Structure 1
């Protein structure tokens, strides 16, 4: 298996398991970018603005040869408030140029914040932004913005529609929980569809709206999907994935070779389900619902929330971003001058068995590598720790392969009672109660190992197949 992690201080391989020998090879690379002296804890791999607050990624897209990333941003301080749409552009998804905010609070329908939303490329090739505004009455409404000059590949200026708000909460909709429109899509009838996150009482759902002109929207009789196990849905995402293919597809693709992903953000995690979508009836028939035992599918079990995907037409792939919140206090953020990063952009496809999604950091991340330090053929025995020497950088990108010669006695787990987070907490890095594992890396490690963060694996058998559990143990920070 291979993995990529960030680390600082020192890096070690560890093996704490019963009689398993590990062949390991690793490549560590110091980042090309230097960290400002006044901000020594800024990451150099992940996207973040130059300063101040950032949360949800919004409306990523590829337009006229340029990648655009918008994001929830407070341009003035490193704490939430004054939320605008920050805007940065890139030609390689690695090196970014920061522009002026694309949308800022200015009108009665968004004066208390320009919340999350999405971009849609219209049939004319022109992009459109649908976003949530918080109005004068603290209600959440949906608004439209268009580029002032669509021939500008940098899309530096955006104009809000004079018809805003386009969609307002009525009837049974909670006006304070009605937000985050998705990328829109057209059915075979050329009618636009969009979903908006919300809840009715304790039921989380995706409100479905339709429009013939992208301006006048009508609520459908039923939501695209709902669940009474989740609570409020934030930042929903809905998109197709191709069966038996490593390529992504755009949001208009609907045929017998596709499944659809519905993602909702709730309970501080990004959960998704798979199903078949029939555009003629807007029926979404699912395979397993949110929070069903044994099939609680998530993008990530760490700090990863309010994610957004987009179709990269240049390289025919679907790319996923997620907001990585930090554990710092507001005072810490003020002292640092910034808060919030985005995850690595990841390519995302349907697994070969069609039961879940598979992700991997995009190849462009490797452009940040230099000063290669590598070794291979090292054997780790039970209880041993091997230091990776020659590293002086505060951050590194690591590729490591472990060869496990004996998997015949792999521990079995009940497929209907699997909670990865609970397993990680019960079977920590120093808990020697597994037949295969734990093994992995000690990052953020002091020389005497009294301080460390373990990133480790255990191997289990589930439904007759071997599966890997990846955990982090921060009990020795």
Structure 2
């Protein structure tokens, strides 16, 4: 039996969805049915479809008591909305059903693991616990003995106020369920805890897999833990990061810790750390493994800072990134858009060996819903040379990519994209000198820029009027370019 709170949310989203202008939504990225969206949750494969839940407040375009919104897809590109899955309606989650994950159980049901949050009315302090709901892909019943993991199972020094975002999986060899969850430690920074269970209902603490020690931010949120190309990957989203050269930036980051894992001893050996996405709008990624063995990642295509720039007349806010296929090459995580996107390509326009210096446009190279490959070269570049690509451009607005080929620096700049408040709008990343491959996805109000086959990615939003469709190229000295662009037709 669904609670009154969940029934109310479902009725509201169904009613208000009809008032959303479809052309305001992204064409091939998931947006909320209505209201507010943040972190992806429960990314899982169930009964032939990929299910994605998300942090959701249907009643406003600002953050509120967290529900779980719900959508599914067969190809990661076209999404179908399903009714809201969870609402805060129990004593242990009355401040919100926060982030978590999902898995198909042996009996064919779909289990959701999430963080229930309670706020003390006097002290205003939070208590966070891990909770279970089980259902059929539409309706979910919360476990009568929730929470299944509470503060009594934490290691010494673990915070009961910052203990969230369980990611669950099943190990066929051990015949056990495992989950990782973020926790704040006695030094004020973050750690990732490992728990195990025979049945998803009875859990025990196993070990601490890794911890920040105040080097990579404070609280570690939204962990994910998996094997990829003979490498063990731990994804975390640290809060309160301090910038470290150009790899990490201030504030909320998403980082990837690569290493080895001794499964018998449950010991993770960290070998390297890198940023997952170096754009201005990306957080809280989560992955799923497909039946054909691919590891697919999706993240919240937004940041808390830029969320203040949302359009005032929209009835929804928030977008997910394009789902991305992951691989490891030369000790680095690579990302590329899912291959399914390519079947939506149309109207191919291609130019080879283009030479340019003065501002230039190319016939057929424009638009706001597109997939574009560019190979830039400036082999004789000096320290003062720069190549500039401007998109979503008209007489007043533009977003630009600047490539400094002598140093191999790339700069993303949305200062003139139409934002209405002063936030960070520029991000620099290191890439290869003299020659650079880019793949650029535009979807109305967002850009995802993949450098050198996905060695680095920059994801950002902008709210330039949709009529601004020009793309221009210029350089301080003679530059060379091959370019292919497809419209994406959905």
TM-score range, shorter chain: 0.7 to 0.9
Is the alpha carbon distance of 1:358 and 1:72 closer, same or farther for their aligned partners in structure 2, counting shifts above 3 Å? Answer: same
TM-score under structure 1 length normalisation:
0.72
Give the counterpart of 2:225 among 212, 233, 238.
Answer: 238
Residue 332 of structure 1: CA displacement? 4.4
* 1:133 alignment partner in structure 2: 116
CA contact (8 A) 2:349 2:364 kept: no
Question: Residues 125, 325 of structure 1: CA spacing in aligned structure 2 closer, same or farther, 3 A cutoff?
Answer: same
What is the CA-CA distance between 1:374 and the residue it aligns to? Answer: 1.5
Structure 2 SS opposite 1:365: helix
The match for 1:101 is: 84
- Find the partner of 1:386 among 348, 360, 374: 360
Q: Which of residues 282, 295, 303 in structure 1 aligns to 2:281?
A: 303
- For CA contacts below 8 A with separation 6 or more, give which structure has more relative contact order: 1
Task: Tell me: CA distance 1:172–1:271, structure 2 relative to 1, closer, same or farther (3 Å).
Answer: same
Residue 446 of structure 1: how far off its partner (Å):
1.7
Match of 1:174 in 2: 159
Match of 2:401 in 1: 455
* 1:115 aligns with one of 98, 103, 108: 98
Change (3 A) 1:434 1:144: farther
Deviation at 1:476, TM superposition (A): 3.4
- Alignment CA distance shift 1:282-1:37 (3 Å): closer
**Is 1:444 paired with 2:360?**
no
Q: How many residues align?
A: 376
Deviation at 1:399, TM superposition (A): 1.5
In the alignment, is residue 91 of structure 1 matched against residue 66 of structure 2?
no
2: CA distance, partners of 1:476 / 1:334: 19
Cα shift readout 1:263-288 (whole Å, capped 9, x = no counterpart):
11013110011011011000111113
Structure 1 residues 330 and 453: CA distance shift in structure 2, 3 A: closer
| Equivalent residue number for residue 29 of structure 1 | none
**What is the deviation of 1:471?**
3.1
- Report matched runs for 1:187-206 at 5 Å: 188-200=173-185, 201-206=187-192
Q: How does 1:327-342 map to 2 (within 5 A)?
A: 332-342=310-320
User: Among 285, 298, 303, which residue is 1:321 paired with?
Assistant: 298
Most deviating of 160-169 and 136-145: 136-145
Q: Which whole-Å CA distance do the structure 2 matches of 1:299 and 1:392 have between them?
A: 25
Instruction: Report the Cα distance in structure 2 between the residues aligned to 1:139 and 1:92, rounded to whole angstroms.
Output: 38
Question: Aligned-pair distance for 1:74?
Answer: 0.8
Aligned counterparts of 2:376 and 2:21: Cα–Cα separation in 1? 42
Q: What's the offset of the Cα at 1:87?
A: 0.6
Residues 301-345 of structure 1: CA deviation (Å, up to 9, x unaligned): 3311011001011x3211110001166565845521211100011
| Contact 1:188-1:280 at 8 Å conserved across structures | no
Displacement of 1:469 after TM fit? 4.6
In 1: Cα distance, 2:141 partner to 2:61 partner:
27
Distance in 1 (CA, whole Å) between partners of 2:307 and 2:232 is: 38
Gaps of 5+ in 1: 1-35, 150-154, 243-257, 291-295, 412-432, 462-467
Say whether residues 1:262 and 2:234 are aligned partners.
yes
Retained in 1: the 8 A contact 2:20–2:315? no
Other-structure match for 1:286: 270
Match of 1:399 among 372, 378, 385: 372
| Mapped partners of 2:112, 2:183: distance in 1 | 19
Deviations 1:375-411 (A, max 9, x none): 41352333x2221445785x2213233252x63x678
State the shift of 1:172 in Å.
Answer: 2.5
Distance 1:338 1:316, change over 3 A: same
* Superposition map of 1:37-56 within 5 A: 38=21, 41-56=24-39
Mapped contact 1:77–1:334 kept (Cα < 8 A)? no
User: Secondary structure of 1:162's match?
Assistant: coil
Shift of 1:157: 0.8
Cα separation, 2, equivalents of 1:470 and 1:345: 23
Query: In the alignment, is the contact (CA less than 8 A) between 1:108 and 1:136 conserved in 2?
Result: no
Given candidates 260, 273, 278, the residue that maps to 1:276 is 260
Going from structure 1 to structure 2, the CA distance change for 1:454 and 1:259 (only over 3 Å counts) comes to same
Specify the SS of the correspondent of 1:54: strand
Instruction: Mark the CA change 1:469 to 1:188 in structure 2 (over 3 Å): closer, same or farther.
Output: farther
1:126 Cα offset (Å): 3.8
Describe the SS at the equivalent of 1:183: strand
**Whole-angstrom CA distance in 1 between matches of 2:197 and 2:310:** 45
CA contact (8 A) 1:75 1:82 kept: no
Residue 202 of structure 1 deviates from its aligned partner by 2.0
Alpha-carbon spacing, 1:190–1:38, altered in 2? closer, same or farther (3 Å): closer
Give the 5 Å matches for 1:63-74.
Answer: 63-74=46-57
Matched-pair contact (CA < 8 Å) for 1:276–1:284: yes
1:366 is paired with a residue whose SS is helix
